[in-house]
A and B are shown apart, each in its own frame.
Chain A
């Protein structure tokens, strides 16, 4: 692949800065995300990674900078210059967002099948039988028994809820998925199952994704490229295995050296 034949970036962040009062949550962040690429954002609590993710996903408005997205059919758009309605339509039809807490990403009062079907209806599906069929198919893909289709997620375990949230996000075939600590707060065995699932889906569906995590093991397993954040700034970036095996910055070296061996 020569430089000339490479596609254009799917998402470009330019000088993203966000303050909360006098405190800078993220400062002057720049990157390009290429199609099929999974970018990890790592750093400790309070480093600004979730704020950055929310700015990228259009959930928070940055104080400065722009987020440029290459849409499926309408050219490039600046996410924060779109009307609220256009942005909502875009995020529903082309994007997914997996929250750390599945309760925030699911509708807890309706059935598992409805949680998945709702996303399909948002992108224009109207045939009830087909929607139900897709919902059942996706439950199977995230390893939830088909007989739970009509149960509400309130009756699901934490790991099942997270898998349901993943199904709800991926059923509509998004081009870009944002994930905020998708395995945070889950038991390690449940975590391994979700990581395995995400890894397979990302690979098979050729997804592009931005993943926030404080877990460097998760980052190694799921991402191609890493940005390390400290105090709101990106202090190091590069290939995931290179950043983790040959960290350059003092803070990254400290993070990598702090992993407990098993």
Chain B
């Protein structure tokens, strides 16, 4: 790939994630193969210790971009490369097991909503990524309980399946599950959307800790207070119809 680099990356720190020429459209076959272009020629790079905030109007494709980075949506063209084992792993067009390996070891994702698993206790939902990495069960539970405590989930809820929890509680379970592993790359889709102020501050604190410990973070944060607290750079996502006028990244106003 010899795409010209247009990003504002720090030359002393090689990026953890590098995207170039990414395009994505949806084709709805039930409506006469209607094509909905969403992303066109997106390029960005994120280094360890950076938090890139995706901004843009509703419908501009911020979530689509984030989901494409995670391999949840299939890119039409371009490149998404992830730094892993001191080498680049290309995710566009990769085999499913390559994407799963990157998700297992390198890239975590916090979605807006928890996908509830019937009958599984909150503490086990959170501990699962650790168990998958071979951490012993008691140790995994202890770490899950610690994180749940930090996020303000009362201990009486830990043994219950989260299906009946409030939206804010479910979201914190989701965050705990994704942050229990020290992923080098974190993708966050509105991680504080349904949280009250106290719980929001707890989540902001956790994200900042991860960022400062060297995680490369990309996120959507509608709350400007949260964005100001966690983001080190802004990336503007333009609606599909508008002309590509703005630079792909601008310094965060302080």
Residues of A within 8 A of B (CB): 1-2, 6, 34, 37, 192-193, 195-196, 199, 203, 220-221, 224-225, 238-239, 241-242, 245-246, 248-250, 253-254, 257
Contact = CB atoms under 8 A, between A and B. Distances in A.
B96 A224 contact: yes
Interface centre among B73, B100, B131 (most CB of A within 10 A): B100
Contacts of A34: 97
Given A2-B85, A224-B96, A196 B117 contact: yes
B153 interface: no
Contacts of A196: 117-120
Interface centre among A192, A239, A249 (most CB of B within 10 A): A239
A221 B96 contact: no
Interface string B67-100: 1000111100000000001010000000011011
A253 to B, nearest CB: 5
B136 interface: no
B156 interface: no
Given A220-B115, A239-B99, A257-B30, 11 more contacts: A34-B97, A195-B118, A203-B128, A224-B100, A225-B96, A239-B72, A239-B96, A245-B67, A246-B72, A246-B74, A250-B30
A31 B43 CA distance: 33
Contact of B101 (A1, A238, A241): A1
Interface string B97-128: 10111000000000000010111100000001
19 contacts: A1-B85, A1-B101, A34-B97, A196-B119, A196-B120, A203-B128, A224-B96, A224-B97, A238-B96, A239-B71, A239-B100, A242-B74, A245-B73, A246-B26, A248-B27, A248-B74, A250-B30, A253-B28, A254-B29
Contact of A37 (B72, B74, B97, B117): B97
B154 to A, nearest CB: 24
A249 to B, nearest CB: 8
Interface residues of B, number: 25
A242 B72 contact: yes
A196 B124 CA distance: 12
Interface of A is mostly: helix
A109 B28 CA distance: 53
B132 interface: yes
Contacts of A37: 97
A254 B132 CA distance: 33
Contacts of A203: 128, 131-132
A100 to B, nearest CB: 20
Interface centre among A224, A246, A248, A253 (most CB of B within 10 A): A246
A192 B118 contact: yes
A240 B99 CA distance: 11
A254 B85 CA distance: 40
Q: Please give me the 8 A-B residue pairs with the lowest Cβ-Cβ distance, nearest first.
A: A250-B29, A192-B118, A246-B73, A196-B119, A239-B96, A225-B96, A1-B101, A253-B29
Given A238-B74, A242-B72, A257-B30, A199 B117 contact: yes
A82 B72 CA distance: 40
Nearest to A253: B29
Contacts of A220: 115
Interface string B24-47: 001111100000000000000000
Contacts of B118: 192, 195-196
Given A253-B28, A253-B30, A254-B30, A193 B119 contact: yes
Contacts of B119: 192-193, 196
Contacts of B100: 224, 239
Contacts of A245: 67, 72-73
A195 B74 CA distance: 28
Interface string B53-65: 0000000000000
Contacts of A253: 28-30
A6 B100 CA distance: 13
Interface centre among B71, B96, B101 (most CB of A within 10 A): B96
B120 to A, nearest CB: 6
A80 B158 CA distance: 50
Contacts of B132: 203
Nearest to B75: A246
Contacts of A239: 71-72, 96, 99-100
Contacts of A241: 72
